[in-house]
Amino acid sequence: MKTKKYFLFTKKNNLSNKNNIIHELMIKGGFIRKLCSGIFILLPNALKVINNIVNIIKNEMFKIGGLEIQMPVITPFSLWNKGGRFYNYDKELYKFYDRNNKMFLLSPTNEEIITEFFFRENLLLSGYPYIFYQFNNKFRDEIRIKSNLIRCKEFIMKDAYSFHTNLKCLDNTYLNILNTYLNIFKIIGLNVCYKKAKCGKIGGILSHEFHFISKYGENKLNIDKFNYLNILNLKFNNFNFKMFKKFKCLYFNINKIDKFIIKNLNNFIRTYIIKIYLINKKNIFIILLINNYKSIDLIKIKNLYPLSNKIKILNKKYIFKKFKILDIFLGPFGLNYRIIADCSLINYINFIIGSNINNYLFINVNWKKHLNIVTFLDISKNFSLYIKKFNKNINIIKKKSIEVAHIFKLLDKYSLNYKKNNNINKILMGCYGIGIYRIFFSVIEQYSYNNKIILPLSISSFKLGIIPINLYNNKNVYNISYKIYKFLIKKKIDVLIENRNIYFGEILNDFELIGIPNFLIISNNLLLLNILEFRDRINNLTQFIRVNEIFNFLFRKYKN
């Protein structure tokens, strides 16, 4: 896209509302405009980010067999009255009458519509579980309208609904979607935590909320200080690769290994394997990585897998019998299991870990370089909330948060009034919502720095901003700029090229405000040296790439 054709809607004025800087930044960055209280216009910058978030969700829902549909926003009163929820919502509902004096509602949620649809279709038994989802506008006449996207009269939501013939099927799907949601937030790059919650007006027997810690949130979470400091900003530091020492594989006599570990206690990461016994009688193995001087909190692991019957840390005998490895040399390498590392390890460098080969340890191991597919979570017993009952000295702090998603195990609350054929007495349901507006607001808050935004590549409106200096006064700059631009367009990579006749500082300001994570700067001075400047804003790195290597460099950078 060229900037002359893509109106940025950015504003140069300073932020005026210090009480809600993120809301002001979204206006200044050309993402939203306020129409009236609780109603917003989404501008192209916002829609591109939101569409990328939507596509991530669609891809993950496809993996678990979700079927996308589109339900109407208008619901007949008879459906809400049949389910008994009309008077529960009361003033939150937008109500109107048609020309025949029949009452209709603008849907705040769609349990009634999906249930009516399901039973009218008389879907076959062999298809269970059925998972339907949609992205749709919802309407709620909120009492408390906030001056941002957290609580609006009209908002975009992704809601999913599942149907089951038995509790085991519902349990499996509930756990599957819980883990899918965690993966969605991981891909988006949003730091969330989740907790068991009340079912409220939606109903059911179990629900979990997903929260983003935010100074603008209206929920409050009790978090221990250690947990907050290590998880809130869970990200890798910008390490200089020169800090990484040479990777080694060293032999150790079993009689001398203990002395070595004691000497390197702070740098040794211990590997554990746990066995999780699920309700559906399937067993799974998980690799846990933790500081050698810490212990694993099985209650926190249980929260990750709420449908587990039992969780067991494998002992020395079991490990040797199954893997033929002494537990001290056990490592995460070569095992096809999920790897979870304690959050306190995220910025460890040059650490020591088991090699999964007897009598050998790996020395100077580094994340991403030697261990890439790792999830960082709080799994240690240090300062865990549940022991507050026994230790009054634990430092518990209250933090505001935004609820970005909520899932429910409904059972037959909505299907009870329907009868299914094929001799099925009861159809059980689950529902699973994600607030797209709330995710969008949270992402802007998490990735805003000094009143500028650096969005992650997974959701940014443009992956790259091309900034030619003196575009119209230098043929070489013009030619190479558009040659690179056309190459990226052909490869279907979202790119924005600056073709307005404005100053370099203005271009930078605009590109930084809309959150473009990478810049490619092209100038005559650089071309005389046969190089181009690539700025990686996410990692705060600047690279100079040879002109004849730029196409391969960009293709490798954005091929995924």
Q: How crowded is residue 204: how many other Cβ atoms within 10 Å of its Cβ?
A: 18
DSSP 332-401: STT--SEEEEEGGGTT--SEEEE-SSTTEEEEEE-BTTTB-S-EEE--B-TT-GGGGGT-TTS-EEEEEE
Closest CA to 65 of 176, 158, 187, 164: 176
CATH code for the part of the protein at 464-558 = 3.40.50.800
Domain spanning 241-367: CATH 3.90.960.10:
yes
Identify whether the C-beta of residue 407 lies closer than 8 Å to the C-beta of residue 431: yes
Residues in CB range of 44: below 8 A, 6 or more apart:
6, 7, 9, 30, 461
Tokens 């849907």 label which residue?
107
Q: Which residues in 418-431 are b (16+ Cβ under 10 Å) and which e?
A: eebeeeeeebbbbb
Superfamily classification of domain 46-71+109-232+400-448: Bira Bifunctional Protein; Domain 2 (3.30.930.10)
CA distance 305 to 198: 19
One digit per residue, the tens of pLDDT, for the chain of length 560 reads 999 999 899 988 766 666 788 888 999 999 999 898 888 999 999 999 999 999 999 999 999 999 999 999 999 988 888 767 777 777 788 999 999 999 999 988 898 899 889 888 877 666 789 999 999 999 988 777 766 788 888 999 999 999 998 888 898 899 889 889 988 998 898 888 777 888 888 888 888 889 888 888 888 876 655 445 444 445 555 555 567 888 888 888 887 787 787 777 778 899 999 998 877 667 889 999 998 777 888 877 876 776 677 889 999 899 998 888 898 899 998 888 888 888 778 878 889 999 988 888 999 998 878 887 777 777 887 433 333 433 444 456 778 889 999 999 999 888 877 765 545 568 899 999 999 999 999 999 989 888 889 999 999 999 999 999 999 889 999 999 999 999 999 999 999 999 998 999 999 999 999 999 999 999 999 999 999 999 998 878 889 999 999 999 999 888 76
CA distance 445 to 442: 5
Identify whether the C-beta of residue 142 lies closer than 8 Å to the C-beta of residue 152: yes
Segments making up each domain of the chain, as ranges: 46-71+109-232+400-448, 241-367, 464-558
Tell me how many helices (H) and strands (E) the chain has.
15, 28
The answer to whether the bond into 129 is cis (omega within 30° of 0) is yes
CA distance 478 to 481: 5
Alpha carbon 120 to its chain's center: 35
Tokens 């067993």 label which residue?
283
CA distance 445 to 216: 9
How many CA within 13 A on the CB side of residue 176? Answer: 20
- Determine the angle formed by the axes of helices 436-446 and 21-28, rounding to 10 degrees: 90
Identify whether the C-beta of residue 163 lies closer than 8 Å to the C-beta of residue 429: yes
